Amino acid sequence: MTSMVAPQTGGAALDRRARTYQVRTYGCQMNVHDSERLSGLLEAAGYQRADEGADADVVVFNTCAVRENADNKLYGNLSHLAPRKHAEPDMQIAVGGCLAQKDRETVLRKAPWVDVVFGTHNIGSLPALLDRARHNRVAQVEIAEALQEFPSALPASRESSYAAWVSISVGCNNTCTFCIVPALRGKEVDRRPGDVLAEVRSLVDQGVLEITLLGQNVNAYGVSFADRDQPRDRGAFATLLRACGSIDGLERVRFTSPHPAEFTDDVIEAMAETPNVCPTLHMPLQSGSDRILRAMRRSYRAERYLGIIERVRAAIPHAAITTDLIVGFPGETEEDFQATLDVAAAARFATAFTFQYSKRPGTPAADLDGQIPKAVVSERYQRLIELQERISLEENAAQIGGTVELLVATGEGRKDASTARMSGRARDGRLVHFAPGGTEQIRPGDIVVTTVTGAAPHHLIADATLIEHRRTRAGDAHAAGRKPRTGVGLGMPGLGAPEARPEAVGCTR
């Protein structure tokens, strides 16, 4: 715990403690990584992460606006904090992320006890906004309309000692009719390759073994570099993948998510020829119906999509391919839905993230005719789940008897304590619950090799004797409680360290 010294009174220094914080995250990987930056910003400003289960002095909600119930979830959680805010006026509540960007005027009207509202483009402002709200005793709302600073320039307090997100772009230039993300995160902005690779090297130097390159549409990487004098380099993403292969100590490279319309063979070749690029691909399909894909403004068709899958499997035979699917898009007929089932059956996804269409105000699809009744959507959704569960189980069962190399993870198995198993991710991304055996301690971040003995739709079981256990620097870092940090800060003057609070005595609940 960091202690702060107040001005001396009568020659005696009063011990004081730093204000604590908690970040609650909703939504996609982008939000998860943004929350790491919010944590890094707060810690750089003198705040301290609250202990698990403890009340924090500052609670930050990093919100998502993609699903229909996002609003209800946020305001329900805010209402739970209202009594505490009333009892403890010095505690602070901040709301950021996509829902804040979209509903900037609504948040304070529905929850006037909130202290700070900030958007997706100015997360670096959070510490200053908290200081200002505390000093002025009035809520602060700051929503930027364009990106102020590429988020990776901000300090980040990483959640994992062994795996890390690395943003290569933010924003999206696509116009999918169901998606509100481009309106909230703006046009695509790419980072220079040297900046990306410098961050990857920094993470590896701190013990990280696995990185995931992150973007709304990773295979469009490089589009924002192009101008009138410099044409777009459509091979920029494949080149970046190959460059990651030359970084000593980097054992695994993943990326998410590509767009089928721009997925090119040079990326497949880079995946197949770069040893540390993992044999896995998340390729959103959304619908198997060409008519619905057209209505979604998804500029590919089912035949092209299946052709990509076929070429990936020809180059990387054991690749695990996953996808996103939407059921009940406006105007979807039973014939359209059957086309989705047919493509799913042909593609044989390792797993699929399936969604019932959610009407989002501000998207073109929200105003389309032919909104599907909830009961019809639910029934179709259940049929899709049943098909995909069967395929996932069959694909996982085919792994029984094979050997897998696992990066040992933390907290991924709900039953691990009762079964005495640990969990890890195979190179193809599959979750494996394994029996550690032996007497040598296995830590998250270590590498083990074992044999698959059982399968379920969403995981594998490996109860065989371990073939290999390799202790790693990532495992050492996890055991020591060290997590990597990145980012150089904005270089902007702050308002000073947050006002310290007296050390609490007795129960604070």
CA atoms within 13 A on the CB side of 394: 9
Cβ–Cβ under 8 Å, residues 70 and 63: yes
User: Measured at the alpha carbon of residue 331, what is the angle toward residues 329 and 333, in degrees to the nearest 5?
Assistant: 95
CA distances 103 to 8, 25, 113, 160, 315, Å, are: 45, 17, 16, 32, 46
244 is in an annotated binding site: no
Would you say 176 is a known binding-site residue? yes
Q: Is 28 annotated as a binding residue?
A: yes
Asked if residue 257 has a cis previous peptide bond (ω within 30° of 0), the answer is: yes
Is the CB of residue 172 less than 8 Å from the CB of residue 216? yes
507 known member of a binding site: no
278 has binding-site annotation: no
Give how far the C-alpha of residue 404 lies from the chain's centroid of Cα atoms, to the nearest Å: 25
The answer for residues whose C-beta is within 8 angstroms of residue 37's C-beta and 6 or more apart is: 123, 151, 154, 155, 156, 487
Residue 172, SS3 per DSSP: coil
Asked if residue 433 lies in contact with residue 423, where contact means CB atoms within 8 angstroms, the answer is yes
How far does CA 283 lie from the centroid of its chain? 16
First and final C-alpha spacing in the chain: 20
How far is 389 from 403, CA to CA, in rounded Å?
23
Are the C-beta atoms of 154 and 489 separated by less than 8 Å? yes
Separation between Cα atoms, residue 431 and residue 394, nearest integer Å: 15
471 burial level (CB within 10 Å; 0-12, 13-18, 19+): middle
Does the annotation list 172 as a binding residue? Answer: yes
Question: What are the CA-CA distances from residue 268 to residues 285, 304, 323 (Å)?
Answer: 18, 15, 17
Residues placed in the known binding site? 28, 64, 98, 172, 176, 179
Residues placed in the known binding site for [4Fe-4S] cluster? 28, 64, 98, 172, 176, 179
